[in-house]
Amino acid sequence: MIFAHASDLLGGGNKVLLRIIEHLDLNRFHPVSVVPGNGPVVESLKALNVPTITADLRPQASSYLASARTLGRVYVKTQAWRAGLLHSNELVYRGASLCSGAHRRVCHIHHPGLTASTLAWMVKRRPDLILTPTALVAEQVRSCIDSLGLSLKVKVVGNPIDTVWFAPPVDVIRTRTQLRMDPYGSHVTIIGALASHKGHQCFLESARIVVDKMPSAMFHIVGDSTGRGTTYEQGLHALVTRLELGKHVRFWGFVDDCTARDILAASDVFVLPTTEEGFGMVLAEAQSCSVPVLTTNMRPLEEVIEDGRTGFLLHPNDHQVFASKILELRGNHERRRRMGAAGRAHVVAKFEIQTYVSTIQSLYGEILGSR
């Protein structure tokens, strides 16, 4: 079968495909991936011994003639694998459906905000199934389908979390020491692309309030601005200077998966004042590590967070409330422990990866069995 990745970066949609590939029953399915470039996703696929075709199937990537040549090249290559099934992330679904040669097709739509015209263009070649990670995205997709008069199957399957990989550290002091974090300090973390919708400004403004009352607190920003330009990142550094937080904020930039996981697991609180998410995978990963989360009171995050039990859902621009909750949790070890334990139990019950992949493989079987 063929997996089509919408980028060569390790974003949420690509992580989902990689986790499916890693846990596939290889006696039933033989994965091949199509990736737009030679970024981190390719390295992950190499580690999994997955054959990879480098081809940019994104609609804006090239002229019509160049696109036709790319589609033809991929079609010729994929014929050697005689793929029966395509699983494609949304942005590249149209191109992948035209060139994969697969008889059955899954379109995975991760992000909210889809319009009817975009969906009509995307599914020119009808998928057998549209997957979404949340009920919110599914509702939006179904609304578009109804307005277009189409008949397409939509299924909600929450994103997979490897709860063995994302787990509380056996020795948090040792983990912090290895990361050169103060082993006995207070650590608050945000992980995600350096993009305005992730809420870094609120994160930093809340840091200023927390540091005034807790001078030992450290705030960790993990992620970079690859593919987005450096203007926003430069603005964050300027804000740190203006808020006089230079000694309290650490910019990690892009780090490997293991380091990102360890930073997350070594944190006291995870914060993400985002204004746009299709699922919020890092929020589930934090909970799996028994770290309480503070994020935005909006759909679909209430499908991932149990407000007041595994974290708090707050207004994304209210840095004072975020700061208050950080101080509240950091000052109450027992409540932080209970929230962390509840968060891990919640993720194990709803998003555990083996259950997810079993569900996905059953859907693959149903689709292929309908040929």
User: Does residue 48 sit in the same domain as residue 129?
Assistant: yes
pLDDT at 70: 81
User: Average pLDDT of 46-69?
Assistant: 80
**How many whole angstroms from its chain centre is CA 150?**
29
Cis-peptide, bond into residue 215, ω within 30° of zero = no
CA-CA distances (angstroms) from residue 180 to 124, 158, 174, 184, 269? 52, 34, 10, 11, 18
- Whether 165 is covered by a domain: the verdict is no
The whole model's pTM is what? 0.90
Output 165 or 80, whichever has higher pLDDT: 165
Q: With left for phi above 0 and alpha for psi between -120 and 50, is residue 149 left, alpha or beta?
A: left
d(CA 325, CA 328): 5
> For residue 67, which of 77, 79, 76, 55 has the smallest C-alpha distance?
55
pLDDT in tens, 81-121: 778 899 999 999 999 998 887 889 999 999 999 999 999 99
* All residues at 6 or more sequence positions from 247 whose CB lies less than 8 Å from its CB, including other chains: none
| Average of per-residue pLDDT values in the chain | 93
pLDDT band at 368 (very low <50, low <70, confident <90, very high): very high
3-state per-residue secondary structure call for 266-321: CCCEEEECCCCCCCCHHHHHHHHCCCCEEEECCCCHHHCCCECCCEEEECCCCHHH
Instruction: Supply 74's token pair.
Output: 């991929």
Q: Which amino acid is present at 217?
A: A
d(CA 353, CA 190): 23
- Whether 218 is covered by a domain: the verdict is yes
CA-CA distances (angstroms) from residue 172 to 178, 235, 266, 283, 294? 10, 32, 6, 19, 21
User: Does residue 193 sit in the same domain as residue 312?
Assistant: yes
User: Does residue 327 sit in the same domain as residue 360?
Assistant: no
pLDDT at 63: 56
CA-CA distances (angstroms) from residue 294 to 12, 282, 371? 19, 12, 46
Question: Which domain range does residue 202 map to?
Answer: 172-351
Q: Are 316 and 275 in contact (CB under 8 A)?
A: yes
pLDDT at 66: 62
Q: Is 125 exposed, middle or buried (0-12, 13-18, 19+ CB in 10 A)?
A: middle
pLDDT in tens, 226-255: 777 789 999 999 999 999 999 999 999 999
pLDDT at 220: 98
- Whether 167 is covered by a domain: the verdict is no
Output 61 or 230, whichever has higher pLDDT: 230
pLDDT at 61: 57
User: Does residue 303 sit in the same domain as residue 206?
Assistant: yes
Q: Are 86 and 74 in contact (CB under 8 A)?
A: no
User: Does residue 134 sit in the same domain as residue 232?
Assistant: no
User: Does residue 188 sit in the same domain as residue 264?
Assistant: yes
User: Does residue 358 sit in the same domain as residue 347?
Assistant: no
User: Does residue 239 sit in the same domain as residue 288?
Assistant: yes
- In the chain, the number of structural domains is 2
pLDDT at 79: 76
- Whether 166 is covered by a domain: the verdict is no
Q: What is the CATH number of the domain that holds 257?
A: 3.40.50.2000
User: Average pLDDT of 43-51?
Assistant: 95
Alpha helices in the chain (DSSP H): 12-23, 40-47, 64-79, 93-99, 116-122, 135-148, 172-178, 200-213, 231-242, 257-265, 281-288, 319-330, 333-351, 353-369
Q: Are 115 and 139 in contact (CB under 8 A)?
A: no
User: Average pLDDT of 191-219?
Assistant: 96
Q: Report whether pLDDT(19) > 70.
A: yes
Give the percent of the chain with pLDDT over 70.
Answer: 98
- Whether 58 is covered by a domain: the verdict is yes
User: Does residue 357 sit in the same domain as residue 327?
Assistant: no
User: Does residue 93 sit in the same domain as residue 213?
Assistant: no
pLDDT band at 370 (very low <50, low <70, confident <90, very high): low
Report which DSSP code applies to 37.
S
> For residue 120, which of 149, 86, 87 has the smallest C-alpha distance?
149
- Whether 198 is covered by a domain: the verdict is yes
d(CA 185, CA 332): 14
pLDDT at 64: 56
Q: How many degrees, rounded to 5, is the angle at CA 138 between CA 121 and CA 103?
A: 55
User: Does residue 189 sit in the same domain as residue 142?
Assistant: no
User: Average pLDDT of 302-309?
Assistant: 97
pLDDT at 65: 54
CA atoms within 13 A on the CB side of 105: 25
- Whether 33 is covered by a domain: the verdict is yes
User: Does residue 116 sit in the same domain as residue 7?
Assistant: yes
Give the percent of the chain with pLDDT over 90.
Answer: 85
pLDDT in tens, 256-294: 999 999 999 999 999 999 999 999 999 999 999 999 999
* All residues at 6 or more sequence positions from 90 whose CB lies less than 8 Å from its CB, including other chains: 6, 13, 107, 108, 109, 110, 111, 114, 122
